[in-house]
Homo-oligomer: A and B are copies of this chain.
Amino acid sequence: MSVREEFDRWASEGRDRGMAERHWHTAKHALARAPVEPGDTVLDLGCGSGYAGRALRDTADAGRVYGLDASPEMARNARSYTDDPQVSYLVGDFEHLPFADDAIDHCFSMESFYYASDPHAALAELARVLRPGGTFYCAVNFYEENVHSHHWPEKVDVGMTRWSEREYRQAFREAGLHVAGQDRIPDREITIPPADEFPTEDWESRDAMVERYRTYGTLLTVGVAP
């Protein structure tokens, strides 16, 4: 199935909002670090419901926020959640960004980058559209070290790239981005039931669930255009 079809289906089932709620636990910490100044132009890559870009309008006074998603239904939903004239949504593809060189101050992406069919091409596009000093905040829960994410591709009908932390750093550098930092942001908010309620539908043991959320959490890699 194409990315467009798969995520159009998710969007029409309302899954965009559920994702946003779960991702917010860690995404907000990544967003809080981003060096967005008042008036900056921000891109939310694979925006889904679009909450991340809207948050940067509110907290950092970003000037213009663009949410880009391959799924027209996601973009349509995202658009319906705001009246802010400074926030726009576009349908587009990571590997074919419809932005001029140096047009973007900062780019944020949560749980979407690894869907790129050619992630190296996507990084090259980001390096192109970011102005010198612009950052790419790339947040993913699906990555090599997070063993609890390895089976996710079975549940999703599109390709997913599983890089290690090191592979993220290397790929950023190959695309010409400096790597400014990398770490795992724990999800401290998810409710973890007491031990005697395990196994649950999703988790064999409490330890596994704790490790998934508190130890692996969300991998954030920060790139900077030279």
Question: Measuring CB to CB, which residues of chain A are less than 8 angstroms from any residue of chain B?
Answer: 29, 32-35, 37, 132-133, 135, 169, 173, 178-183, 222, 224, 226
User: Do B183 and A181 have beta carbons less than 8 Å apart?
Assistant: no
Find chain B residues with CB under 8 A from A135 CB: 178, 180-181
Partner of A183 from B33, B173, B226 at Cβ < 8 Å: B33
A181's closest neighbor in chain B, by CB? B33
Q: Are B226 and A35 in contact (CB under 8 A)?
A: no
With a cutoff of 8 Å between Cβ atoms, the chain B residues found around residue A132 in the complex are 178, 226
In the complex, the answer to whether A183 meets B32 with C-beta atoms within 8 Å is: yes
Q: Which residue of B lies closest to A225 (CB)?
A: B178
Which of chain B's residues has its CB closest to A137's CB? Answer: B181
Known: A133-B226, A226-B132, A226-B133. A33 touches B182 (CB 8 A): yes
A-B residue pairs, 5 tightest by C-beta: A180-B180, A133-B178, A33-B181, A35-B179, A33-B183
